[in-house]
């Protein structure tokens, strides 16, 4: 039941208001002064306050201020007599939800109360949603065996400052994992500063990382701190470290060894305490061979190396991530779409060259474009349409087998069955070879064979 507190030092006025709201099925509390109102407010968990402005002792405006201090979300409606409109305006400025002029009809007051309560509900809902979204942001989804290895390593490296090198294809979650290591460690309440070495122009990156002194170059009109200094006490995330120019690699190496550096154009040596996490999707060994990356730096940054597996190797995670992203985008886009079992299967068979980011983007697109209850094939980009047709040979075979009618799902099913048969024949029943030829996992091959009664 909604709880209302009515404050008025005029007993007859108070009584008529109490009667009105009683009859409207509110739980009503009354107070004959501001002081008493505040006591009741603190004791009773009130949803809305109505108060007269002119009262002996604590005034209505003072009561309003005290209530707002205790609970900024509780709506307060002030009642004011003709001639004191100024005070009412003042009350609005201090956060009153609305005011009402005496004499007023009870209906008028009731309307304002309804409006205030509706707004309060909306605000509460909004806050709840925001919190739910914030909590889910940055959660690492997936229970596959390969991700369990990653989780165990995160737990091990988080408590100390040993440099970590994160390796993995694009979109595998390198930045997400770097943040997780930071969040789980003793530096969690200090800054996490990401630097994308590939995104900053080569001539600016030194100044960006190490800062500069006034007059260091044209345009350096004031001293500026670099990202290393900004990360003091926290974590510096050097993303795409393979793109870092050679001359800076020297400076970075010195920093890792000595924990000190100079700003560009400066002579003062600066010491900072930061944890370094680096990431790259490049093969650094090849970069070393090509003399684009310093070997000594490589051994310094990779004290601990973490490999993030490509999505196609994470058994079962595609489904989990799909459901997670559908929920996320349904919330964000105020929709309520779902995904069919068939589509999930197609998702699980796809190669995902762009990994989790590609899946995330694809689902966002699907949720935006879906018109009915389910995401349809035409809501998704073309690359996933040909999932069941990975090779030229397969495509040719498929052309023969394509049924001329039926729903898309039915036709895909027929096609899939045909291709499985052919490939198994071609590979003389060797499942491992057939799975490889089709670019899918052996376990999904077995699943599909069983589904079509071929096993």
Distances (CA, A) of 102 to 34, 55, 83, 106, 270: 19, 14, 10, 11, 68
Choosing from 356, 377, 412, 438, the residue that interacts with ligand ATP (CB under 6 A) is: 356
The beta-carbon contacts of 378-387 under 8 Å, at least 24 apart in sequence, are 383/350, 384/346, 384/347, 384/350, 387/346, 387/349, 387/350
Choosing from 66, 98, 175, 364, the residue that interacts with Mg ion (CB under 5 A) is: 175
Choosing from 34, 60, 75, 171, the residue that interacts with ligand ATP (CB under 6 A) is: 171
* Rounded distance between C-alpha atoms, residue 44 and residue 37, angstroms: 10
* Smallest distance, Mg ion to C-beta of residue 86, A: 57
Query: Is position 328 an interface residue for ligand ATP (rule: CB under 6 A)?
Result: no
> Is the CA virtual torsion 69, 71, 72, 74 positive or negative?
negative
Query: Is position 62 an interface residue for Mg ion (rule: CB under 5 A)?
Result: no
Query: Residue 173 binds what, of ligand ATP, Mg ion, none (CB under 5 to 8 Å, by partner type)?
Result: ligand ATP
Query: Residue 168 binds what, of ligand ATP, Mg ion, none (CB under 5 to 8 Å, by partner type)?
Result: ligand ATP
* Rounded distance between C-alpha atoms, residue 427 and residue 288, angstroms: 40
* Rounded distance between C-alpha atoms, residue 157 and residue 155, angstroms: 6
Options 129-137, 172-180, 312-320, 343-351: segment touching Mg ion (CB under 5 A): 172-180
Nearer to ligand ATP, 278 or 397 (CB): 278
* Smallest distance, ligand ATP to C-beta of residue 355, A: 7
* Smallest distance, ligand ATP to C-beta of residue 130, A: 18
Query: Is position 8 an interface residue for ligand ATP (rule: CB under 6 A)?
Result: no
3-class DSSP assignment, residue 250: helix
| Footprint (CB under 5 A) of Mg ion, residues 200-219 | none
Query: Is position 379 an interface residue for ligand ATP (rule: CB under 6 A)?
Result: no
Nearer to ligand ATP, 87 or 172 (CB): 172
The beta-carbon contacts of 325-331 under 8 Å, at least 24 apart in sequence, are 325/359, 325/360, 325/363, 325/364, 326/363, 326/367, 326/375, 328/133, 328/136, 329/363, 329/364, 329/367, 329/368, 330/367, 331/129, 331/132, 331/133
Nearer to Mg ion, 211 or 309 (CB): 309
* Smallest distance, ligand ATP to C-beta of residue 316, A: 12
**Contact footprint for ligand ATP (CB under 6 A):** 140-142, 168, 170-176, 281, 321, 356-357, 360
**Contact footprint for Mg ion (CB under 5 A):** 175
């Amino acid at each position: 039941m909604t709880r209302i507190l009515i404050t008025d030092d005029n007993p007859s006025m108070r009584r008529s208001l109490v009667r009105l709201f009683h009859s409207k099925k509110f739980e009503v509390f009354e107070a004959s002064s501001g002081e008493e109102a505040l006591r009741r407010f603190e004791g009773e968990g009130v949803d809305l306050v109505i108060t007269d402005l002119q009262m002996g002792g604590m005034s209505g405006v003072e009561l309003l201020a005290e209530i707002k201090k205790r609970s900024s979300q509780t709506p307060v409606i002030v009642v004011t007599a003709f001639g004191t409109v100024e005070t009412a305006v003042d009350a609005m400025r201090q956060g009153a939800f609305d005011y009402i002029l005496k004499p007023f009809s009870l209906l008028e007051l009731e309307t304002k109360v309804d409006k205030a309560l509706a707004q309060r509900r909306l605000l509460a809902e909004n806050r709840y949603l925001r919190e739910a979204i914030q909590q889910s942001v940055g959660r690492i989804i997936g229970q596959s065996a390969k991700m369990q290895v990653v989780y165990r390593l995160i737990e091990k490296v988080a408590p100390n400052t040993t440099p970590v090198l994160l390796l993995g294809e694009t979109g595998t979650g390198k930045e997400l994992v770097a943040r997780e290591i930071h969040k789980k460690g003793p530096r969690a309440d200090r800054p996490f500063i990401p630097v994308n070495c590939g995104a900053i122009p080569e001539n600016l990156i030194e100044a960006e990382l190490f800062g500069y002194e006034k007059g260091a170059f044209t345009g350096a009109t004031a001293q500026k701190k670099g990202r290393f200094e900004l990360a003091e006490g926290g974590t510096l995330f050097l993303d795409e470290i393979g793109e870092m120019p050679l001359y800076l690699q020297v400076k970075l190496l010195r920093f890792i060894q000595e924990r000190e550096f100079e700003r560009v154009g400066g002579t003062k040596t600066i010491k900072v305490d930061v944890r370094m996490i680096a990431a790259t999707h490049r093969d650094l060994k090849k970069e070393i061979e090509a003399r684009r990356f310093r070997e000594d730096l490589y051994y310094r940054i990779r004290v601990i190396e973490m490999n993030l597996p490509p999505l196609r190797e994470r058994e079962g995670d595609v489904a989990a991530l799909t459901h997670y992203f559908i929920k996320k985008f349904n919330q964000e886009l105020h929709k309520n779409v779902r995904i069919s079992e068939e589509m999930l299967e197609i998702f699980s068979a796809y190669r995902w060259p762009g990994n989790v980011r590609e899946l995330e983007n694809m689902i966002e697109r699907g949720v935006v474009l879906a018109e009915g209850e389910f995401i349809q094939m035409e809501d998704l980009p073309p690359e996933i349409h040909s999932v069941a047709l990975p090779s030229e040979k397969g495509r040719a075979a498929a052309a023969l087998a394509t049924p001329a009618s039926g729903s898309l799902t039915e036709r895909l099913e027929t096609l899939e069955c045909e291709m499985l048969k052919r490939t198994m024949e071609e590979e003389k029943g060797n499942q491992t070879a057939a799975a490889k030829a089709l670019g899918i996992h052996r376990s999904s091959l077995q699943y599909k064979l069983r589904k079509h009664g071929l096993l």
